[in-house]
Structure 1
Amino acid sequence: MNGTGNKRDRITFLAASWCLSYPDEQLVARVPMMRAALGEFAGASQPFGVVLERLESTDLMALQGQYVQEFDLGKRHALHLSYWTDGDTRRRGEVLGAFKKVYRGQDTLVDTWGELPDFLPMVLEFAATVDMLTGKELLAQYRPSLELIKFGLMRDELPHAEILQAICDTLPGASPADEQAVMRMAGYGPPTESVGLDPYDPRLLPMKGA
């Protein structure tokens, strides 16, 4: 593992990866471990509190139904980072290929769990367990995506918004005040079927027209 990044960020990223994933018995069993690990750092557990409580106190089938409703049906809270920058454009295929290239570049076999490689829980787990520096570069590059997901969750009063904020708090710079500020930060309007936000770092991902 790349030693860059501190232990608190690794724990935050891994806990966020799990809490943003489809809930199953294994995830529920991990709740005490997440509580203990987050509890090592002052304030680290607060953003996860409501989600962890729900994992412990809610019937598993109900949890799974809620997850599908909020994250799988529709795009309001899409957890695929390049959706927010590239929409459903042809360019997105190149972007997804670039994510796979980043993973392969670490000589690590990344299990995509049948998901696209820009799936946020996957990127977070990569950062936490494989290469913190490269993982953080990807997250910083897709900061507008993280912020837009967060604002969507806030709008629907979902507790996962606090987890997205915890992720953003590990990255340089303050979070924008609202969605319009996110667009100004990125320099573009919202994603559409034909236009997306240009990625920040041309060294990692292709630019428009590439």
Structure 2
Amino acid sequence: MSTDAVFYQAAALCLTYPDDDFVARLPLLRQAAPQLRRFTDHAAATPPRELAEHYVQVFDFENRHSLYLSWWHDGDTRRRDMSLVRFKEVYQEYGMEFTGEELPDFLPAVLEFTARTGNTDLLTEHRDCLAELRRSLTDFGTPYASVLDAVWAAMPTASTRARP
């Protein structure tokens, strides 16, 4: 797995609910993705229950920190359905079917897709959405902002699409 792939996979894990598996993987995440050290150091020093409560506070109470990329672009409109179809089509181009509990535009799923395929199209296509989320998390003062900072820094300025 390439260095970029490891980073994107680690970022995906950092943006998912911090369950027991996440806590168990923290030492590996800290070692494998130094770009995420600011967040992983915070997570390692925070009691698991407090970390989980903070995640819920940040991501589950309001859309102002939504991890669903199409929400930033389309909001809760009918247009969002077409955006979600676009995510599914990109996954299918690579022989992947999105069957998760989350919608296909869930940022951790997009980051995992990027890690597995090297295709950054979905990230670069939603650069403005990521910028808004990043700004919102920064304004809120959450350590999750540092994960978005690292993803932002790693993103190419143009698409670097890997072939299926």
TM superposition score normalised by structure 1:
0.70
Aligned amino acid, residue 26 of structure 1: D
Residue 128 of structure 1: aligned partner? 115
Contact 1:12/1:166 (<8 A) preserved: no
Shift of 1:111: 4.0
Paired with 2:156 and 2:113, the residues of 1 have a C-alpha distance of: 19
**Runs in 1 of length 4+ with deviation above 3 angstroms?**
none
Paired with 1:110 and 1:93, the residues of 2 have a C-alpha distance of: 15
Decide which structure has greater helix share: 2
Paired with 1:37 and 1:11, the residues of 2 have a C-alpha distance of: 7
Change (3 A) 1:171 1:59: closer
Shift of 1:166: 1.5
User: RMSD across aligned C-alpha pairs, in angstroms?
Assistant: 1.6
> Deviations for 1:80-127, whole angstroms, at most 9, x for unmatched residues?
000111111101011112211211221123442x11110000000011
Shift of 1:168: 1.6
Q: Tell me, which stretches of 5 or more residues in structure 2 are unaligned? A: 158-164
The answer to whether residue 141 in structure 2 is matched with residue 154 in structure 1 is: no
Residue 23 of structure 1: aligned partner? 18
Residue 52 of structure 1: aligned partner? 40
Aligned with residue 154 of structure 2, among 170, 173, 190: 170
Paired with 1:71 and 1:110, the residues of 2 have a C-alpha distance of: 21
Residue 161 of structure 2: aligned partner? none
Paired with 2:47 and 2:76, the residues of 1 have a C-alpha distance of: 35
Paired with 2:98 and 2:79, the residues of 1 have a C-alpha distance of: 23
> Deviations for 1:24-60, whole angstroms, at most 9, x for unmatched residues?
010111111112212xxxxxx24x2232123323222
Aligned amino acid, residue 65 of structure 2: H
Change (3 A) 1:111 1:139: same
Question: Over alpha carbons, which structure has the higher Rg?
Answer: 1
Contact 2:124/2:155 (<8 A) preserved: yes
Q: Tell me, which stretches of 5 or more residues in structure 1 are unaligned? A: 1-5, 39-44, 174-210
Matched residue count: 157
What does 1:11-160 align with in structure 2 at a 5 Å threshold?
11-38=6-33, 45-46=34-35, 48-112=36-100, 114-129=101-116, 131-133=117-119, 136-160=120-144
Contact 2:18/2:55 (<8 A) preserved: yes
> Deviations for 1:6-30, whole angstroms, at most 9, x for unmatched residues?
8222122111100010010101111
Paired with 1:24 and 1:111, the residues of 2 have a C-alpha distance of: 20
Identity across the alignment (%): 39
